[in-house]
Chains A and B, each alone.
Chain A
Amino acid sequence: MTEVSVQGEKRNRNAAAEFTRPLLLSPSEDLAGYVMGHLGLTILFLITTTSVAAVFLIFYFVIRESLPFFTTGGGAAILARVREFFTDPGWYPSATEPRYGALALIVGSLYVTAGALVVAVPVGLLAGVFLSDIAPFNLRQICKPVIEILAAIPSVAYGFFAVMVLAPWLQTHLGFSSGTNALNASLILAVMALPTIISVSEDAMTAVGREIREASYGLGATRAETIINVVIPAGHSGILAAVILGMMRAIGETMVVWMASGNASRIPSPWWDLSQSIRTMTATIAGDMGETPKDSEHYYALFTVGLTLLLFTFSLNLLSEYLLGKARAGRGRR
């Protein structure tokens, strides 16, 4: 044991009473602290509002560049333009009589998205259940990186795979006339939406407490019954949010659909024929914008497509926020 006093600093046992540093701020210190504190906070706040500014700028510029599409023809033409845009399936911007009907594009986007979800939702939810309820800890530690790497592969690489590997395979093994079609795009989009669906739904199901599961097991339910009857209903908001987030991922995806969907702007008919080429909103923007002169009607029309897409994902986003908020609130109550 050492002594409290050592060389250098010597301390009287009564030193405990001596407060050498003032406990009161001097007026100048007080003022400086006040100013610096508020100034610092204001700067930090302003930096934080960058995201807000970004959102507003995105909306402002996309709207600004798409408005002329509707307004160039004068007041009466606005409605006709809106009707044309949403009901005409013909997208012929470079025809002598250009037509800007985005119906086929909107349908195309929804078509591949639906195709992707048909595959991704059941697989993703089952995988989510596996990770939250079934897999032992060690297996989960292996599965998670696999899913993360699936999410990490860039979309253009998936598109490359679709064109270079999957399309020839479809052509030779399933006898399609063209390997780049709705089926190809949907399959790849499903793989891309999977990580989102899995991780969000897994979170939702993990958040359902252990007690409620134990209650169910205690009543003699099997694991499957517990999951189906208790866990999934309790986590339904989060699971729904997972599906919506997966849908957003698929509908907003550009490179894969551009490369793999065949880019023929028509509504598939018959509707179940996945081997047809289709064209999506995102692929149209990506494909056309490069050859479009600025401030042409075509340019404005492409921005209008972008605005439609933006509003679509924005409302989906609000919906998922609402659902996740509900899921969180439910968790809080419990």
Chain B
Amino acid sequence: MKTLLRQIQDKGFTTASAGAVLLIAAALLVVLIPMFGRGITAVIFTETVEFRRLQKDLHGRGDNEHLARALADAAAVREPIYTMLREFSEGIDTEPLVKQARDVYQKYGEYLNYHNTPKEQYSDYRKQAKDVRDGLVDALESDDRQTVLDDLDAVLKEKDNPAFADSPAMEFFAMAQRYKKIAETVDLSHRAEYLTNLQEVTAAIRQLLGPLPGEPTPPLWMDQYGATRLDMALKARAALLYDEQWISDGPGKPMVKHIIARKEQFAGTPLEPLFDRVEADWDKLLQPRLRIYWQYFFDDWVNSHYFGGVGPEILGTLLLTLMSMCVAIPLGVISAAYLVEYAGDTVWIKIIRMCINTLAGVPSIVYGLFGLAFFVVTIGAIGKPCILAASLTLSILVLPVIIRASEEAIRAVPQTYREASLALGAGKFRTLVLVTLPAAGPGILTGIILSLSRAAGETAPILFTGVVAMGPIPNFGSPSQWLENPGSLFGWLFQPTRALSYGSYDIAVGDRISMLAPHQQFGMAMTLILLTVALNVAAILIRSRLSRKLRGC
């Protein structure tokens, strides 16, 4: 019995600890899968013709002729949709028509003035025109079909009135004609209901296809194009084809989601075929096809990351990490070499070791405070948050990482290597430079890559020392500027920059527009993870090769 219990305990313990490892692996997958799965859609997705148009307008990418042909194809199927929409909305949303009727009346007055119509004739014509206008407006504003038709017939009777011949007033009759056609088909009594639904349909069509013809160009790029990606297009299509309503079945009952097809909402109206057309011509409307948007990693954003890529963020991260490495690698490797090869066991060395450990334990936000107080505020030559201040702060942050890794690597070089070199007549320093450091090279490189990835991922230390969410790309100047003023070669060091790490924060929390484009948010975070994890995998590979070599395989 006792033995059984002990066995159960033993098995249970084994299972629990294996479970812990599985849990950790699962946690890794739970984090990575959504980040990569959704992030990759920023790069690989199904583009639409709108995206091609955007790329052409922004970057001049793509073949002119192909694009023109594609746009012409799209326009051919879009045109009937636009026409249907326009005609129907004229019937439902009569306000523009009323306004137009008033305009026509005014124009007619001007026309009469222009032609120096005699006074008595003038007021007579005006009055007749006014009657026509009022009849038309009454027809437009009425909800009852019979009244409308009667009013319109009354208006149309005036068509042959010589007073209006060849004048702008003829427009009245064209309008009346058009509206009559609508009034014959549309149930005008539900006008108010149609109106709200129509506005939703129009918004969805704008989302899908871009601004309607005749509308002024919107100021933001993001409004100038329809759905650039299939996933966004499908969302817009769903909004176009179906209406989602939360309706309570009765008082006190919970709201239930009802999905109503727009086709039913607009049944019997001239708009009804529009929905079938959208579905039938779907491929031609947007011409979706697979796109590998590799330029994502190079492009700048447009409209707060609604369009575009993360190029400047990647550049900024690289600048920051490489600059910090320029400082940290020599300091770190030399320190490690000194600690291993020359240092004894003195009090000073103990203090140095303690300081390295302390440095490794300082919270990253305190590095940020220190960078702000020291590099930005105290050192006058820097004076403001910039790449130099941020990368110096990062270099102190990674210094202990590099020192520890290099120390371990240098310590791992077999003593026989050093002996061989010394026995061949090399001095201690030459042995270090010619034999020990090269032999420790892969190990040191592993440490450097790990600290690179650490520096690339850190956000808190650069928050106050040189990173911005939106800002210009660092200006490197041009060769002619460098010749003129060699100092300008380093001008970029004194500018702030964007970075992937802070960008990932800002795009998730700070930025409103990017929330409309989740693929952009996940794309940024994915790029950051991709960068750091790739560096780590490289380090792991180097180390495993190294250990294989040390084991002599």
Direct chain A–B contact by Cβ atoms under 8 Å: yes
Give chain A's interface residues, CB within 8 Å of chain B: 40-41, 44-45, 47-52, 54-55, 57-58, 61-62, 64-65, 122-124, 126-127, 129-131, 134-135, 141, 143, 145-150, 152-161, 163-165, 191, 194, 198, 222-225, 227-228, 248, 251-255, 258-259, 282, 285-286, 289-290, 294, 302-303, 306, 309-310, 313-314, 316-317, 320-321
User: A289 touching B464 by the CB < 8 A rule?
Assistant: yes
Partner of B508 from A253, A259, A313 at Cβ < 8 Å:
A259
**B435 interface residue per 8 A CB criterion:** no
Partner of A52 from B14, B32, B352 at Cβ < 8 Å:
B352
User: B536 touching A149 by the CB < 8 A rule?
Assistant: yes
Nearest-CB residue, chain A, relative to B23 = A123
User: A129 touching B17 by the CB < 8 A rule?
Assistant: yes
Question: Hey, what's the 0/1 contact readout for B25-36 against A, CB within 8 Å counting as 1?
Answer: 101100110110
Name which of B20, B21, B343, B525 has the most chain A CB atoms within 10 A of its CB. B21
Partner of A154 from B6, B27, B399, B528 at Cβ < 8 Å:
B528
**B357 interface residue per 8 A CB criterion:** yes
A247 to chain B, nearest CB (A): 11
A159 to chain B, nearest CB (A): 7
A57 to B14 Cα, complex, angstroms: 48
- Chain A residues with CB under 8 Å of B508's CB are 159-160, 163-164, 259
Partner of B370 from A47, A61, A317 at Cβ < 8 Å:
A61
User: A127 touching B21 by the CB < 8 A rule?
Assistant: yes
User: B528 touching A150 by the CB < 8 A rule?
Assistant: no
- Chain B residues with CB under 8 Å of A289's CB are 368-369, 372, 463-464
A180 to B528 Cα, complex, angstroms: 22
Cross-chain pairs A/B with CB under 8 angstroms, 6 sampled: A54-B399, A62-B369, A165-B34, A224-B13, A252-B366, A259-B505
Nearest-CB residue, chain A, relative to B429 = A40
A153 to B330 Cα, complex, angstroms: 26
A48 to B400 Cα, complex, angstroms: 11
Contact A309 B365, CB 8 Å, known A123-B23, A154-B501: yes
A49 to B354 Cα, complex, angstroms: 11
Question: Hey, what's the 0/1 contact readout for B359-400 against A, CB within 8 Å counting as 1?
Answer: 101111111111011100110000000000000000010011
A299 to chain B, nearest CB (A): 9
Partner of B25 from A146, A198, A313 at Cβ < 8 Å:
A146
- Chain B residues with CB under 8 Å of A310's CB are 362-363, 366
User: B10 touching A223 by the CB < 8 A rule?
Assistant: yes
User: B504 touching A160 by the CB < 8 A rule?
Assistant: yes
A259 to B506 Cα, complex, angstroms: 10
User: B501 touching A156 by the CB < 8 A rule?
Assistant: yes
A152 to B351 Cα, complex, angstroms: 29
- Chain B residues with CB under 8 Å of A123's CB are 20, 23-24
A255 to B331 Cα, complex, angstroms: 28
Nearest-CB residue, chain B, relative to A165 = B34
- Chain A residues with CB under 8 Å of B25's CB are 143, 146
**B457 interface residue per 8 A CB criterion:** yes
**B355 interface residue per 8 A CB criterion:** yes
- Chain B residues with CB under 8 Å of A52's CB are 351-352, 355
A-B CB proximity, top 4 nearest: A154-B457, A252-B363, A126-B20, A224-B13
User: B361 touching A317 by the CB < 8 A rule?
Assistant: yes
Give chain B's interface residues, CB within 8 Å of chain A: 6-7, 9-10, 12-14, 16-21, 23-25, 27-28, 31-32, 34-35, 330-331, 334-335, 337-339, 342-343, 351-352, 354-359, 361-370, 372-374, 377-378, 396, 399-400, 403, 429, 450, 453, 456-460, 463-464, 501-502, 504-505, 508-509, 518, 521-522, 525, 528-529, 532-533, 535-537, 540, 544
A54 to B529 Cα, complex, angstroms: 29
- Chain B residues with CB under 8 Å of A259's CB are 505, 508-509
User: B338 touching A164 by the CB < 8 A rule?
Assistant: no
B92 to chain A, nearest CB (A): 38
User: A156 touching B358 by the CB < 8 A rule?
Assistant: no
- Chain B residues with CB under 8 Å of A129's CB are 17
A147 to B544 Cα, complex, angstroms: 15
A254 to B354 Cα, complex, angstroms: 24
User: B373 touching A48 by the CB < 8 A rule?
Assistant: no
A149 to B530 Cα, complex, angstroms: 11
User: A147 touching B338 by the CB < 8 A rule?
Assistant: no
User: A159 touching B335 by the CB < 8 A rule?
Assistant: no
A30 to chain B, nearest CB (A): 14
B401 to chain A, nearest CB (A): 12
User: A254 touching B24 by the CB < 8 A rule?
Assistant: no
User: A134 touching B525 by the CB < 8 A rule?
Assistant: no
Partner of A164 from B14, B351, B361, B522 at Cβ < 8 Å:
B522
Known: A153-B532, A289-B464. 8 other contacts (CB 8 A): A55-B359, A61-B370, A123-B23, A127-B20, A153-B457, A160-B35, A303-B369, A316-B361
- Chain B residues with CB under 8 Å of A154's CB are 456-459, 501, 504, 528-529, 532
User: A286 touching B17 by the CB < 8 A rule?
Assistant: no
Contact A62 B21, CB 8 Å, known A154-B529, A223-B13, A223-B14: no
A78 to chain B, nearest CB (A): 21
Partner of A152 from B354, B369, B453, B504 at Cβ < 8 Å:
B453
- Chain B residues with CB under 8 Å of A285's CB are 365, 368-369
- Chain A residues with CB under 8 Å of B20's CB are 122-124, 126-127, 130
User: A254 touching B363 by the CB < 8 A rule?
Assistant: yes
- Chain A residues with CB under 8 Å of B368's CB are 285-286, 289
